[in-house]
Structure 1
Amino acid sequence: MRCALSVWERSSTVRVVPSARPRKLAKVPFVELADGRLQGVVSSGSDIGRVYVSSVEAGTYAFSCSTNNNRPCGGARGTFCNHIRALIAEAVLQYGAERVARYLKADVPGEQADTQGLTSAMMSTRPAQGDRSAAAQVFSRFLRHLAYLEFTPTTAPVPEMHWFPTTGAVA
Structure 2
Amino acid sequence: MSVWERSSTARVTAPARARKLAKVPFVELADGRLQGVVSSGSDIGRVYVSSVAVRTYAFACSTNNNRPCGGARGSFCNHIRALINEAVLQYGAERVARYLGVDTPDGEPGAQSITAFMSGACPQQGDAKAAAPVFSRFLRHLAYLELAPVTAPLPEMQWFPPTRAVA
Normalised by the length of structure 1, the TM-score is 0.89
Q: Structure 2 CA distance, aligned partners of 1:163 and 1:149?
A: 21
Q: In the alignment, what sits opposite 1:47?
A: 43
How do 1:105-116 and structure 2 match up within 5 A?
Answer: 105-116=101-112
Aligned residues: 160
Alignment of 1:1-171 (within 5 A): 5-161=1-157
Supply the distance in 2 between the matched residues of 1:71 and 1:102 (Cα, whole angstroms). 31
Post-superposition Cα deviations, 1:96-148, rounded to whole Å, max 9, x if no partner, equal 11100100001113445101100000000100000111100100110111111
My pick for the range that moved more, 86-95 or 153-162, is 153-162
1:20-58 CA distances to partner (integer Å, 9 max, x unpaired)? 000000000000000000000000000000000000000
In angstroms, what is the RMSD of aligned CA positions? 1.6
Match of 1:167 in 2: none
What SS does the corresponding residue of 2:129 show, helix, strand or coil?
coil
Q: Which runs of 4+ in 1 moved over 6 A?
A: none
Displacement of 1:163 after TM fit? 8.6
Unpaired segments ≥5 residues, structure 1: 165-171
Instruction: Compute the displacement of 1:161 (Å).
Output: 4.2
Counterpart residue number, 2:164: none
Query: Counterpart amino acid of 1:38?
Result: L
Say if 1:11 and 1:86 are closer, same or farther in 2 by CA, change over 3 A.
same
Which structure carries more relative contact order (alpha carbon 8 Å, separation 6+)?
1
- Distance in 2, matches of 1:116 and 1:93, equals 12
Q: Which ranges in structure 2 are unaligned for 5 or more consecutive residues?
A: 161-167
Contact 2:94 2:108 survives alignment (8 Å): no
SS at match of 1:87: helix
**Displacement of 1:6:** 2.8
Whole-angstrom CA distance in 2 between matches of 1:162 and 1:100: 32
